[in-house]
């Protein structure tokens, strides 16, 4: 079993297909969304059946907030972006996950949301590895 993986937890197939594992944090698996248009990270709390933040225990809620803030600071530091967008929407993928996206004026779709804007543009493997290493170093 991977570090941090709670018994009975299975990552949603859509999250697994659209993102790459970056590292394990205390509560969450940190993943990179495979779309080079935006530096985009996902935090997935390793709690079976969790769909909403309020489904987590108070301690897990605090941990999720801490990890989300830590990842947001690292992403802003690495990218120099104008704005960090964070959210747990879950309208399509019900499993609890938090998006942390670096946005800058002039990026595709600015200032609108990233969802539903154009077609996903996967990273080249080498670019994905380079981005992942920068994030790991910043954390």
Closest CA to 25 of 98, 95, 80: 98
Task: Tell me the per-residue pLDDT of 91-105, one tens digit each, with 9 for 90 and over.
Answer: 999 999 999 999 999
Average pLDDT over residues 115-122: 89
Model confidence at 7: pLDDT above 80: no
> What CATH class is the domain 13-138?
alpha beta
Structure tokens at 44: 């997935």
Q: Are 131 and 40 in contact (CB under 8 A)?
A: no
- CA nearest 84: which of 94, 75, 92, 93? 75
Measured CA to CA, the distance from residue 67 to residue 56 in angstroms comes to 14
Q: The pTM is what?
A: 0.93
| pLDDT over 80 (residue 1) | no
Q: Please give the Cα distance from 97 to 88 (Å, whole number).
A: 6
CA 134, CA 11: separation in Å to the nearest integer? 24
Q: Mean pLDDT across the chain, nearest whole number?
A: 94
Report how far apart, in Å, the C-alpha atoms of 132 and of each of 24, 39, 113, 116, 135 are.
13, 10, 23, 24, 5
pLDDT grade for 117, boundaries at 50, 70 and 90: confident
The order of strands in the sheet holding 83-87 is 19-24, 28-33, 40-45, 98-103, 83-87
């Amino acid at each position: 079993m991977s570090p941090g993986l709670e018994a009975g937890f299975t990552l949603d197939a859509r999250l697994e297909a659209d993102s790459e594992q970056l590292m394990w944090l205390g509560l969450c698996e940190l993943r990179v969304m495979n779309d080079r248009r935006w530096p985009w990270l996902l935090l997935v709390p390793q709690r079976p059946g969790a769909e909403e933040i309020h489904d987590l225990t108070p301690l897990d809620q605090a941990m999720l907030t801490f990890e989300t803030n830590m990842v947001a600071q690292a992403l802003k530091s690495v990218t120099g972006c104008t704005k960090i967008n964070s959210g747990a929407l879950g309208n399509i993928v019900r499993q609890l996950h938090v998006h942390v996206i670096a946005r800058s004026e002039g990026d595709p779709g600015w200032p609108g949301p990233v969802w539903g804007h154009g077609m996903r543009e996967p990273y080249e493997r080498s670019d994905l590895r380079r981005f992942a290493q920068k994030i790991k170093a910043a954390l």
